[in-house]
Structure 1
């Protein structure tokens, strides 16, 4: 067993016991818990219950399995893996804590450690690694300083994949809940809005930029 395999096995054990794991992404550092322990993310961060968290998945097919199919969602799935979170209608089997008001946020990170974690532990409830009101961690040392996770992936002092320029989190796009409405950018982030707009235009859906 390699050192990374051993670390992923340890991460899976921690998550199964209700703990949380910190991990790097191509954007900012993330904090992960098993879906049934999503409330632990709020507790660790010191934020109110009920705020949405993402469901991070190892690949596009596993992400699509959480949501009702649509042409727009299928089109955006072509941008995964990457710094894009899509908020869309959740299937009834999606846990309520992960789908407030029936909407679930789906993400497929493009980072080798993040994807290895998701392959080892399955789809996870995730959020940025930071206390409420503080900037998201951009490095392992910043993540360690926040002391929110039971385990941080990677090795201290090892070279890190740089995060997105400017420390941007993933771009968050909400698909419409009513026919005729546009999609909306809820958070501008590391994936350019124009790239999302071009993909949605192919399926005839307009995109409303973040205010």
Structure 2
């Protein structure tokens, strides 16, 4: 898997301009495609109901199926969840390719936690984290593809999907980027029980941590 923790500066003028443009699109209710360490994501601001509705529509996702809440750090994610030993143990794997589906705190907006469950992730790709930091710390996200199709793995593929109003440049087309996305979707774990709902890069590490919690 490529190393996405290489030096990265939001102060680079081209990067800063692209991030500003992406945030402007999100704030006016648009959708943004962005790279992560797994696959390309498609994001909407959670506080913009029309954008959330459109995210589900372009994805072709049923309204009762929640999408992921991507967060800028573990603290922002844990603020939405009911505390628990397994959640705390697995949160040590953030940032990284792990999504935790866990009971939300009472009062969490339905857009974030339909049915009382919230799917939390903290990506490790520097562009994804920079976007989150600039746009309030949380975004509703799903993989950048229509339901039933393979997700985008490059900016060109994300553009060809024609789902986003703005595709965040990752520098790959001119050779200056952080490397291609990993291509393997995140491990998804249901809490508090710890069932693996989708296999992914961190299955073994998750099993070891949960054994320590439940053992």
Instruction: State yes or no: 1:39 paired with 2:47.
Output: no
Written as runs of structure 1 = structure 2, the 5 A alignment for 1:69-88 is 69-88=83-102
Query: Does the CA contact (< 8 Å) of 2:37 and 2:97 recur in 1?
Result: yes
Are 2:190 and 1:174 aligned? yes
Q: How big is the shift at 1:201?
A: 1.6
Counterpart position of 2:210: 200
* 1:79–1:114 distance in 2 versus 1, CA, 3 Å: same
- The aligned length equals 197
Residue aligned with 2:111, SS: helix
Show CA shifts across 1:125-179 (max 9, x none).
0000001211011111111110111111124613452222xx2111100003xxx
Q: Contact 1:90/1:104 (CA < 8 Å) preserved in 2?
A: yes
Deviations 1:170-209 (A, max 9, x none): 1100003xxxxx3111111222x1210111122116xxxx
TM-score when scaled to structure 1?
0.88
Contact residue 86 and residue 194 of structure 2 kept, 8 A = no
Moved more, 85-94 or 117-126: 85-94
TM-score, length of structure 2 as denominator length:
0.86
Question: Residues 14-163 of structure 1: matches in 2 within 5 Å?
Answer: 14-36=25-47, 37-122=51-136, 123-154=138-169, 155=171, 157-159=173-175, 160=177, 161-163=179-181
Correspondent of 1:184 among 189, 195, 198 = 195
Unpaired segments of 5 or more residues in structure 1? Answer: 177-181, 206-211
Q: CA offsets, 1:107-131, max 9 Å, x none?
A: 0001011000000002000000001
Q: CA deviation at 1:69?
A: 1.2
Unaligned runs of at least 5 residues, structure 2: 1-10
3-state SS of the aligned residue for 1:126?
Answer: strand
Mapped contact 1:20–1:149 kept (Cα < 8 A): yes
In structure 2, C-alpha distance between the alignment counterparts of 1:27 and 1:158, rounded to whole Å: 21
Residue 208 (structure 1) aligns with: none
